[in-house]
Amino acid sequence: MIKKIFILINLFLSIILQLTPTSICDDIEDNNTIDVTNEIISSSTTSQSEIKTPETNSRSCVVIDRNSNTVLYGKNENSKRKMASTTKIMTAIIIIENYNLDETIEVSKKAAGTGGSRLGLKTGDKITIRDLLYGLMLCSGNDAAVALAEYAGNDIPGFAKLMNKKANALGLKDTNFETPHGLDADNHYTTAYELATLSNYALNNKTFSQIVGTKNYTVTINGSPKQLSNTNELLGNLDGVYGIKTGFTNGANRCLVTACKRNDMDIICVVLGADTKKFRTSDSIKLINYIFDNFKPVNIKEKIYKDFEKWKNENLNKVIVNKGISQNINLEIENINNSIIPIRKDLIDSINISINCSTIFEAPLPEKTTIGNIHITISENVILDYNIYNSSEIKRKSWSTYILDILKNYPNILEKNLI
């Protein structure tokens, strides 16, 4: 009898949750509040005399500079791990880039029945794709993820193909998707570094950036409003944070991707596999403050060109192009897109620019031939690598060219012999 009463109570509560359109979404993913203010204070103490890397609970972490994609901090950043709802970064960008966000769709039974963190959709609900995206990214709605996947890929496997096609296009070699929401699956994984790379790409899209940077939003389901709140505990609480996504499953543990900009530095911090939400928050704050407290933007492009010009002044007169119609070789460096790179303050003096380029060549030498490279290292670790090429073609001498050279120089040869 008691067992039957318990079942009836649970059934009644589930019906109430389904019938309340204005309630906050069913956020299983992040149901414990964290005092972010205390975490910020406890994570901001940095020694001025000695720079120490933070100790973190998360199994895998990375911080990259958005402008150069350079790794500023890494811990197992290339290890494959489950990524939970941070998966939805890929789901969102595929939808945003390819579909009309103002189109209204009808929610299927399968989407409505998806468990975990939810927007709270029911079978037959009418909602725009745009509002589904807000439900996907703010309250991490797994039901919204399936609805979007069915719309774009017909079913979850079809949408997973789109996700993996995009991952391949972005060069994410250690990433594979099976689901649009990130619920645990054996062949669903990424790395902290590749997740940061994906996030960096996604944030370049204005619509995506606007969605993940929204703290509160009202969606409309069947013409009725529903208030959503962002699960990202750092958004609006930590200086400079402007996105992007939380995550949690039993297999992945706690995950968080954070974008933060202060002054001239713009970074993405990824933590995967934290034991608790508190650790996820404190690890992220520690890493973000560590970077902004201890790194300084350096104009690496200026340093490279200065050293390269010096090298050319010292070595171009030694260049020999065997059998070339000209000895005038023009050397250039491939395009350096990222001129400013954050470098830890105590390592700036250890920046070394190594130029490796031959001075003896064999004609013909086609235009844009790679003939050397430049390595930029910090404490003997290579951080950047650029090719050196010749900007103009040098043709090989023909027999007629040799004869013309002899005739041209004949008066000088004759004069020497007469003397």
**Phi and psi angles of residue 147, each rounded to the nearest 5 degrees, phi first:** -60, -45
Question: Is residue 69 a contact partner of residue 178, using CB atoms and an 8 Å limit?
Answer: no
Angle between the 192-203 and 88-98 helix axes, to the nearest 10 degrees? 30
Is there a catalytic annotation at residue 140? yes
DSSP state of 398: P
Question: Is residue 324 a contact partner of residue 363, using CB atoms and an 8 Å limit?
Answer: yes
Write down the catalytic residue from 68, 140, 199, 282.
Answer: 140
Write down the catalytic residue from 43, 60, 75, 88.
Answer: 88
Strand partners, 354: 375
Q: How far apart are CA 408 and CA 397, in angstroms?
A: 15
Pairing of strands 360-362, 320-322: parallel
Is there a catalytic annotation at residue 85? yes
Q: How far apart are CA 369 and CA 35, in angstroms?
A: 58
Question: Is residue 390 a contact partner of residue 330, using CB atoms and an 8 Å limit?
Answer: yes
Write down the catalytic residue from 43, 58, 68, 85.
Answer: 85
Contacts of 181 (CB under 8 A, 6+ apart): 85, 87, 88, 91, 114, 116, 142, 145, 146
Would you name the residues annotated as active-site residues?
85, 88, 140
